[in-house]
Amino acid sequence: MKTLIRQMMMENRFFIRRKDVLFWTLAFPILFVLLFGAIYGNTKWEGPGLNIRAIDYLLPGILVMGVMVTGIMHTANGFVADREKGIFRRLALTPLKRQTLIGGQMLHNFCVIIIQTLLLLNIGTLFFKTQLTGNLWLFWLVLSSGALCFMSIGFALTGLVKSVRSSTPVTQITLNTMMFLGGIFFPNSMMPNWLGNIAKVLPSTQMSDALRAVIYNNAGIGDIWLKLLVMGAWVVVCLVISIKFFRWE
């Protein structure tokens, strides 16, 4: 356990030194909240099953976007870059176990996600009067399930790409698809039926809907268990892909 904690702390120090990663994981989601808040203000969105302030709808979606950036891009691109540099080959000559390395990276990413979430929630409250009124423990359960889900997708992608040059476009396509079809910036009810049905199986859709249900509708576990189950199915599938295709060199 001590070795795992030390590995996580080392990953945290590397993270702080990388200004580009700091921007994409922390500053980028904050800019989205401030931008959309400034554009929409207290404008209400109304439609079928929808009667909510725009910023109240968008904030949970931007929380999901931040989790995806860290879970998919930071995980996949960082791991592929280290693999390409031969870092893992050199680490194989040390007593550090590979599962400790992966565990340390996952704990580090989860710490980043917690910081992202707290920053976004506080900015939403301070500038736009958003409120987290639902079950706090259920909120963190959804957040943790989503974090595990998107980190699993990130690790699955590391086995499917061979270099940093190919990793960047693959992660960008994956991220943007889930972002724009996941109900993050606009309701899926605005999509054509066939596209909306595809969007329903995406973990970004399930996490966004679950967070909104918990935050604003005081939903219980019985209301969102199916969404958690879909995210769990993604974790299982991505773990199978990771085990089959994952490589250190």
Q: What is the pLDDT of residues 56-82, one digit of tens each?
A: 999 999 999 999 999 998 888 888 887
**Pick the residue with more confidence: 8 or 228?**
228
Instruction: At 18, list the tokens.
Output: 């990388």
96, pLDDT greater than 70: no
Q: Contact at 8 Å (CB) between 130 and 37?
A: no
Highest mean pLDDT among 25-39, 91-105, 156-170: 25-39
Q: Kindly list the distances between the CA atom of residue 89 and the CA atoms of 54, 133, 163, 247, in Å, as whole numbers in the listed order.
A: 49, 48, 15, 11
Q: According to the model, what pLDDT value does residue 175 have? A: 92
The CA distances from residue 19 to 15, 22, 24, 25, 87, in Å, are: 8, 5, 9, 10, 21
Q: What is the mean pLDDT of residues 183-201?
A: 86
Give 4's strand partners: none
Average pLDDT, the chain: 87
Name the percent of the chain lying above pLDDT 90.
42
Instruction: Provide, rounded to the nearest whole percent, the portion of the chain with pLDDT above 70.
Output: 95
Phi, psi of 86 (to 5 degrees): 80, 15
**198-222: pLDDT as tens digits:** 899 999 999 999 999 999 888 999 9
Residue 145, pLDDT above cutoff 80: yes
Burial of 138 (0-12, 13-18, 19+ CB in 10 A): buried
Shortest CA distance to 67 belongs to which of 160, 127, 153? 153
Q: Categorize the per-residue pLDDT at 33 as very low, low, confident or very high, splitting at 50, 70 and 90.
A: very high
Check whether 92 has a pLDDT greater than 70.
Answer: no
CA atoms 52, 35, 111, 187: torsion sign: positive
Q: Which two tokens stand for residue 74?
A: 């930071």
How far apart, in Å, do the first and last CA atoms of the chain sit? 26
Apex 191 CA angle, 188 and 194, nearest 5: 105
Q: What is the pTM of this model?
A: 0.91
> CA-based Rg of the chain, rounded to a whole angstrom?
18
pLDDT of residue 235: 94
Question: Range with the lowest mean pLDDT among 17-26, 97-106, 186-195?
Answer: 97-106
